[in-house]
């Protein structure tokens, strides 16, 4: 008979997790073996049929697309800096395909608190893409304004 038991294991410095132990035989044997393993070895290996997805995406590293507001001759995009960014890929959807490099403006106290790298026009010039890094201490609501004009 197949019996499933949920045993909570907590180790010093680790977050406790629930493991599903599947086994045949006595449920007390399975539980006592798991309990003994948990108290003597913090790196116990348990064969289970359940899997846990441990990948996480944070807002600071996510890719984001921002519209550039304006006309075909000129537009402005507001790139949020609040909370910082770590290698965030930003794509700005331009209103025209013959735009020059942007003029950037930000509140004076945040000048130098961000970095733009790998900037390029893509998709026939209709997208401006770059990698953004910004310090975490920048408060929400602070934007980097990027103004594009025709060449």
Listed by start position, the domains of the chain span 2-40, 64-149
Q: Of the ranges 11-15, 21-25, 124-128, which one carries the lowest mean pLDDT score?
A: 11-15
Element (H, E) at 42: none
**What integer pLDDT is reported at residue 140 of this predicted model?**
96
Q: What is the pLDDT of residues 67-76, one digit of tens each?
A: 999 999 999 9
What number of helices (H) and strands (E) belong to the chain? Answer: 1, 10
Residue 36 makes CB contacts below 8 A (sequence gap 6+) with: none
Per-residue pLDDT band at 60 (split at 50, 70, 90): low
pLDDT in tens, 93-110: 999 999 999 999 999 999
Strand duo 2-9 + 17-24: pairing = antiparallel
Cβ atoms within 10 Å of 110's Cβ, excluding its own: 17
Length of the chain as a residue count: 151
Model-level pTM greater than 0.85? no
Q: Which of 51, 42, 33 is nearest to 9 (CA)?
A: 42
Query: Does the domain spanning 64-149 belong to CATH 2.60.40?
Result: yes
DSSP 28: H
Cα(133)–Cα(67) distance, integer angstroms: 20
Partners of residue 122 on adjacent β-strands: 127
Q: Which of 62, 59, 55, 78 is nearest to 131 (CA)?
A: 62
């Amino acid at each position: 008979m197949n019996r499933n038991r949920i045993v909570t294991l907590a180790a010093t410095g680790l977050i406790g997790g629930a493991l599903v132990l599947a086994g045949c035989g006595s449920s007390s044997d399975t539980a006592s073996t798991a309990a003994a393993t948990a108290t003597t070895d913090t790196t116990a290996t348990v064969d289970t049929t359940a899997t846990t997805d441990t990948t996480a995406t944070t807002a600071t590293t996510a890719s984001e697309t921002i519209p550039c507001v304006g006309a075909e001759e000129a537009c402005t995009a507001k790139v949020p800096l609040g909370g910082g960014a770590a290698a965030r890929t930003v794509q700005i959807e331009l209103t025209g395909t013959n735009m020059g490099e942007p003029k950037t403006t930000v509140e004076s106290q945040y000048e130098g608190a961000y970095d733009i790298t790998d900037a390029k026009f893509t998709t026939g010039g209709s997208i401006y893409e770059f990698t953004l890094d910004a310090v975490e201490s920048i408060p929400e609501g602070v934007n980097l304004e990027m103004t594009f004009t025709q060449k």
